[in-house]
């Protein structure tokens, strides 16, 4: 029963981005909208803003309503005795809001770029933003938590029928002044900030893969985390846990790469760090430490220029740097010094996660709402020079993948540039095979695996009594829900194991 508020700027272009903005505990969508200033940014850079709003829930022992939260927190850690699972409760409600725009359900002319959907939020909203990135990596391209938490650091242990079902608020793991810290049936009395809730990088990744979107092998969203190092409610140490979880998801280490020490020149109230693949220029994970700031978002209402904005208020501080703007710039939907036109480009073939072999068609669609497209360039992995550049449509060609020197995962990127020096890019993760696959490794739906004797039905390990899963015959590896597809490999006669890719 989340409420949905939607902001649509005037004169929206086709294939516009979407930002989902999630308020914190005790806040409303309207309050967060005013403080964060996302609407002003949307007017300038032309994107939709969706504001989900949590509903207050009665704390009466006789209350029968199973939705909402008594403190208006998003239930990022589960709700009322149920674990947090993709497609359930509030996370599904938020996805329904995104789909409302994508599908233009009411025929109002909405046009959304499905590859440019982003999510941000403060506190419980920040924790929910991280959770949405973990649960729905196929929907969100970027995440920007403000005082957030790593995914699955705690889940609600409250049982239906308890006197006060306090949900995620009770499990946030904040200081004792933030009622309540203990005695509320959480996984741990101090939840996410207790020492026994810290994990290794491998453990953090396992939590995402097991409890987020089981069986998913695609790209995870990029993430920028903002956190005050004097936060009195959500310990600053959780920022390091977020870095561990999301750098590991992207297959990069936890050592910051060379980058400017700040996002905004001359501002000494923050420190910036970013994490990239070797040889890449695009950060996949970034952090902004807000020096001496307490719990809240950073705004810059007294500044000037495109990177100033927001309002001070409850959990919103004038820190001389505008977190909403720099998050939008990290997403690639703001900045660049000009708003006179917009370039859009979409890689239509091959699609994300495609397995390619031999000669394949590479195709992209590109347009500029002012001026003309002058170049559409295609890059492989982190190469500085394109392997193909086209100056006129159709932007397609045949590509012999035998020229790729290594089998396995690669990134295919397309960059479109117009005659005003505006540009946009899109990419897809592909798997190149230059050698024939072994016959003992098979990709199929889990139902097909079961029918062929490679798998058997097994109980849902994450939701007792829930929809059954498939498990590989022999190893017993969990392949996920029966409706999903997976790779299995026969390592010895009749013994099948789960693998991420057939090579």
CA gap 340, 167 in Å, rounded: 46
Q: Is 418 exposed, middle or buried (0-12, 13-18, 19+ CB in 10 A)?
A: buried
For 313-350, letters b (16+ CB in 10 Å) and e give eebbbbbbbbbbbbbbbbbbbbbeeeeeebbbbbbbeb
Q: Which residues of 166-201 are buried (b: 16+ CB within 10 A; e: fewer)?
A: bbbbbbbbbeeebeebeebbbbbebbbbbeebbbeb
User: Among the residues of 20-108, which ranges form H helices?
Assistant: 29-36, 38-45, 89-102
Active site residue 60: no
HEC string for 108-143: CCCCEEEEEEEEEEECHHHHHHHHHHHHCCCCCCEE
Phi, psi (degrees; rounded to nearest 5) at 53:
-135, 125
Which of 123, 156, 248, 323 is the catalytic position? 123
Question: How far apart are alpha carbons 432 and 277 in whole angstroms?
Answer: 19
The C-alpha atoms of residue 67 and residue 75 are separated, in whole angstroms, by: 10
Q: For the purposes of burial, counting CB atoms within 10 Å of the CB of 496, is it exposed (0-12), middle (13-18) or buried (19 or more)?
A: buried
Which of the residues are catalytic?
123
């Amino acid at each position: 029963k989340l409420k949905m508020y939607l902001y649509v700027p005037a004169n929206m272009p086709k294939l516009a981005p979407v930002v989902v903005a999630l308020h914190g505990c005790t806040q409303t969508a309207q309050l967060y909208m005013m403080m964060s200033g996302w609407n002003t940014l949307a007017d300038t850079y032309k994107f939709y803003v969706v504001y989900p709003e949590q509903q207050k829930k009665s704390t009466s022992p006789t209350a029968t309503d199973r939705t909402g939260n008594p403190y208006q927190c998003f239930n990022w850690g589960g709700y009322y005795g149920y674990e947090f699972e993709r497609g359930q409760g509030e996370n599904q409600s938020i996805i329904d809001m995104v789909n409302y725009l994508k599908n233009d359900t009411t025929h109002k002319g909405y046009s959304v770029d499905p590859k440019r959907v982003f999510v941000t939020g403060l506190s419980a909203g920040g924790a929910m933003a991280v959770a949405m990135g973990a649960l729905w990596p196929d929907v969100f391209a970027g995440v920007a938590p403000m005082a957030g938490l790593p995914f699955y650091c705690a889940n609600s242990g409250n049982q239906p029928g308890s006197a006060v079902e306090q949900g995620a608020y009770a499990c946030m793991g904040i200081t004792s002044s933030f009622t309540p810290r203990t005695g509320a049936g959480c996984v741990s009395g101090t939840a996410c900030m207790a020492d026994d809730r810290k994990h290794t990088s491998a453990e953090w990744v396992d939590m995402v893969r097991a409890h987020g979107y089981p069986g998913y092998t695609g790209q995870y969203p990029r993430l920028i985390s903002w956190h005050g190092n004097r936060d009195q409610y959500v310990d600053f140490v959780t920022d390091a846990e977020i870095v561990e979880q999301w750098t590991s998801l992207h297959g990069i280490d936890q050592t910051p790469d060379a980058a400017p020490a700040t996002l905004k020149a001359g501002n000494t109230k923050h420190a910036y760090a970013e994490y990239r693949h070797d040889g890449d220029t695009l950060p996949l994970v970034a952090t902004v430490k807000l020096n001496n700031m307490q719990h809240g978002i950073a705004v810059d209402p007294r500044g000037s220029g495109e990177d100033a904005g927001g309002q001070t208020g409850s959990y919103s501080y004038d820190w001389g740097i505008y977190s909403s703007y720099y998050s939008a710039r990290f997403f690639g939907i703001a900045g660049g010094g000009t708003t006179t036109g917009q370039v859009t480009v979409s890689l239509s073939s091959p699609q994300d996660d495609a397995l390619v072999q031999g000669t394949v068609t590479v195709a992209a669609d590109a347009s500029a709402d002012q001026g003309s497209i002058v170049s559409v360039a295609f890059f492989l992995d982190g190469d500085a020079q394109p392997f193909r550049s086209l100056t006129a449509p159709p932007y397609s060609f045949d590509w012999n993948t035998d020229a790729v020197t290594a089998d396995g995962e690669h990134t295919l990127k397309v960059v479109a540039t117009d005659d005003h020096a505006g540009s946009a890019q899109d990419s897809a993760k592909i798997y190149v095979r230059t050698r024939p696959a072994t016959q003992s490794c098979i990709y199929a739906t889990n139902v097909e695996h079961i029918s062929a004797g490679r798998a058997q039905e097994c109980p849902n390990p994450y939701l007792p009594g829930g929809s059954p899963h498939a498990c590989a015959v022999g190893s017993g590896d969990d392949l996920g829900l029966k409706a999903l597809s997976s790779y299995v490999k026969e390592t010895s006669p009749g013994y099948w194991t789960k693998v991420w890719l057939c090579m």
